[in-house]
Every structure is written in structure tokens, then in C-alpha cells.
Amino acid sequence: MIIAASAPLTVVAGGTTSNFAVTSVLGIPLSFVVLGVILALFAVGFSALSSKVQTAGAFYSYVARGLGRVPGVAAAWVAIVAYNAMQIGIYGMFGFATADLFASVFSITVPWWACALGGWVIVGVLGVNAVDLSAKVLGILVALEFLVVFVYDFIAIGTAPEGISAAGFAPGELFTGGVGAVLAFSVAAFMGFESGAIYTDEVRDPRNTVRRATFGAVIVIAVFYAFSAWAMVMGEGASKVVENSATNGPGVVFAMLGSALPVWAVQLGQVLFVTSLLAALVSFHNVVSRYLRSLAREGALPSFLATSRGVGRAPVAGSLTQSALAMVVLLIFAVAGAGAEDPIMFPVLTLFTWLTNVGALGLVALMALTSFAALVFLRRNPDGHGVFTRVVAPLIAGVALGILVVTIIIQFPVLVGLEPGNVLNWLLPLIALLPGVIGALWAMWLRGTSPERFARIGHGSAAEDAEGVGL
């Protein structure tokens, strides 16, 4: 589920080429390594928390237990908006890619919004079923994605028009004036790696499964994307990769595949590009529905959202709610796109670009906050953890991620491709962070009007208060 959210083929074909094109920085491969180190440090404190706070609230529960219930609910509201933004934004790219597939392979013209609604139906059906059904479907798709990207990597390395070198990994090729934009782009490839904790209620061994999945995801994502980005530099040539990415976008990958494989194999790669997006949609949908259930179960949202069904305890109410919200946003963008100057690219330039960057900003902010929550919680509850786990790793991760949050806000006009004076340059980041303020106010109101509900926040279904947190 975690790797599916990362969407390997989407990141390599779409995200990496966009990173080269927009930033004109060669050090994209090194950026994945740098972020991998930062997020591995984050995972140290995150995993220590997950072994002690075994509820499906993840960010929300961890912040509540570390920093207090009011910050915890603030984190929950940011998480709900961020994950929804990521999930719904991906429908824009999914609709575009599916419509393009129908046009190029079958010569059939289908509106992007119709394709997006088709994906919406599939996601909705999988969402109201137990996680094992989604996992089986996504497992097959992700395995095929990895295969396609590995084939591309080795064809690109074998082509290497300028020879094999370490281009892309030199510090001077990353740490330039555009490093902030590069890291802001690359961090989106990791989004979802922390979502393993959301499935605490549905795994056999919550204490160890979450920790292993989180560290495994960080390592796999960092190494795989660094290697693939370097392969792209080799395949296009260090002097041409930026120019070619700006000109051809995802076509860089499929053109390379087409140079060595038959047409049907390239078309299969295009199909898997679409299923890669579908896999990410399902994964983020599952995260949102479980957040809603966790909050409702603890009294922070209406109780009907806690409704689950079946042996696998699928969060049916949360799933239906997320689907309804996605439908509303899709309809709004479908109507708005009807009169766009470029209706074909409209869902990519607006729905996908705007919302996924909003989601990435919110999730990075949550990771920074969670790092400081781990610092506080583990200081109160050391239980054999060393200084590195309790202090050093969470502190470094929190500071680094905080700097990254500021960088994303500053670089937001670059990330979304808007002119400096556009109102959306500050409105979109506000959509990511303002829910935290609203959530905090809601929690304070709840504390005064319903102390019993407030007491359950951050403690799963129980109302215990072992740490004496009363904020």
C-alpha cells in the first residue's frame, strides 16, 4: 500500500522529468538520497512512537500523545485535507493519461473527466472492501510498474550517449540556487511512506509491521528513485536531460522504451502508467477513510464516520465520505475545464498540479510536527530507547523538515507554474495549513463543551490518560 502511494512509474515518467524541466538542476538523483536520509531520521522517532501508541490515527494520535490533544486535532485536520488533496489531485493526471491512452492506442476520444469518473468508481468499490483486496490488486500493479521502470533503467544505461559517469550525484549539481525547488519536487515521491501506521487495526503484528514497513519504504523509495533518475541522466546525456525533459516530459521514458522494445511493450508501459495512478488513488483513498474512522471513533468527528464492516473492518462510512468529496471536486473542475484554453492539459496544470502540491506541503508540515512530538513523548517515556532515538534523530528531522516546509512555501509559484502575483500562490498553501487552526479551535470548543469526548482524543477507543496530557 505504501509503495503504491508512491506510484513508481508515475514518479519516474512524470515527476522526475518535470523536476528536471522546471528546475534545470542536474542533481535530481542526489536529492532522493538527501531526502532519504532526512526521512529515515524521521522514521526513527516515528517508528518508536508507533510501537507505543498503537492506534490507527498515525500523525494525529502521535501529535496528541506528544504535544497535546489540541495540537493533535489540528494535525488531524491538516492530515485529512492533505491526503484528500493528494488523492483528488491525482484524478487530474489519471483522467489525462487514460484519455491519452484511448486516443493513442484505440483512436477513441474520451473526455478526461469521464476517464476520471471511471477511476472513481473502481476506487470506491475497492475502498469499501477490506484492505487485503486492495493490497492484492495493488501488489500486482506495483510489481509490474517496477519491472517496466527497471527495463527502462537498463536500456537507458546501455544507451548512455555521453558515457557512464557519476553525473547527478555531485553535491555541486544539487546545492545550487534551485535546490529548494528540487527538494520540494522530490519529496512528493515519498508521500505516503508514513501511512503504514494507518493500518494498525488491520495487521497481525502492529508493533513490528509498521516499523518494518516504514523503514523499508523509505529505503526502497530513496534507492530506487535515485538510481532511476541517474539512469535518466545517463540515457539522455548530462548535457541534454534537462532540455529533453522540458520538451518531451513523460515521453522521455516511453521513447527510450520504444527504441529497444516492440510497440506492444511500449503500449503496455502506457497502460501501467495509468494503473500506477490508479494504485496511488486507491492507496490515498484508504488513508483518508481510515483517518476519518479514527477521528470519529475517538469523538473528534461525528460518530457515524466510525462505521466499519466485514471481517477486515473496512471503514465503509469514511470511504463513502471521501468518494463523495472527490466527486464534488471532480465535477467542479470538469465544468471549469470546459471553457479552458487548453482543455487537454487543463486537469494536469490545475487539478493535479495544484492539489498534489497542497497535499505535499501539508504532509511535510505534519512530519515536522510529528518529529517534535516524538521528541517530547520519548523524553517522557524512554523505555530503553537510546539518546539517538529519543533526541538526536527526531530533532534533526524536525528542523530539516521545518526548513523544507518554509522552502516549499517560498517556491510554491515555481511548483505550480503560476505568475508571482497570482492570488493562488498564497491561497493554495493556506488551504494546506489553515485547517490546523480550525481544528485547534474545534478541539478547544470540544474541551469546554464535551470533556468526555475530548478525553478520548489520541488514545484510540480507550479514554486513558497515561501521560497526563491535557492541552
Domain positions in the chain are 2-456
Residue among 66, 333, 291 nearest 201 (CA): 291
Considering the four listed CATH numbers 3.10.20.740, 1.10.1040.10, 1.20.1740.10, 1.20.120.140, the one that applies to the domain covering 2-456 is: 1.20.1740.10
Give residue for cell 494546506: 432
- The rounded distance, in Å, linking the Cα atoms of 310 and 127 is 13
Query: So what's the pLDDT on residue 463?
Result: 37
- Quote the pLDDT of residue 383: 79
Task: Report, as ranges of residue numbers, the positions in the chain whose pLDDT lies below 70.
Answer: 1-2, 4-6, 54-58, 130-135, 194-203, 206-207, 309-314, 459-471
Residue in this structure with the C-alpha cell 512524470, named with its chain if needed: 14
Closest by Cα among 275, 229, 236 to 259: 236
Are residues 16 and 248 in contact, defined by beta-carbon separation less than 8 angstroms?
A: no
Specify the pTM.
0.85
Element holding 103 (H helix, E strand): helix 69-106
Instruction: Return d(Cα 453, Cα 302) in angstroms, integer.
Output: 11
**Where does residue 300 rank: exposed (0-12), middle (13-18), buried (19+ CB within 10 A)?**
buried
- 419, with CB counted inside 10 A (0-12, 13-18, 19+), is exposed
- What pLDDT is stored for residue 465 in this prediction? 37
Question: Which of 321-325's residues contact partners 24+ apart within 8 Å by CB, and which partners?
Answer: 321/289, 321/292, 322/84, 322/87, 322/127, 322/285, 322/288, 322/289, 322/292, 323/120, 323/123, 323/124, 323/127, 323/285, 325/84, 325/88
pLDDT of 155: 96
Q: Which residue is it, cell 535515485? A: 226
- Per-residue pLDDT at 130: 58
Alpha-carbon distance of 421 to 403, in angstroms, equals 24
Q: HSE, CB side, 13 Å, CA atoms: give it for residue 126.
A: 25
Sole residue written with cell 550517449: 161
Please give the Cα distance from 418 to 428 (Å, whole number). Answer: 11
Using one digit for the tens of pLDDT, what is the confidence trace for 97-112?
899 899 988 889 999 9
Q: What is the pLDDT of residue 5?
A: 62
Distance of CA 363 to the CA centre of its chain: 8
Identify which of 336, 389, 299 has the alpha carbon closest to the alpha carbon of residue 113: 336
- What sign results for the dihedral spanned by CA atoms 149, 357, 368, 298? negative
- Which residue's entry shows cell 538526536? 392
**Nearest residue to 357 via CA among 306, 415, 403:** 415
Cα–Cα distances in Å, from 395 out to 2, 31, 185, 214, 401? 25, 21, 23, 19, 10
Helix crossing, 393-410 with 28-52: angle to 10°?
130
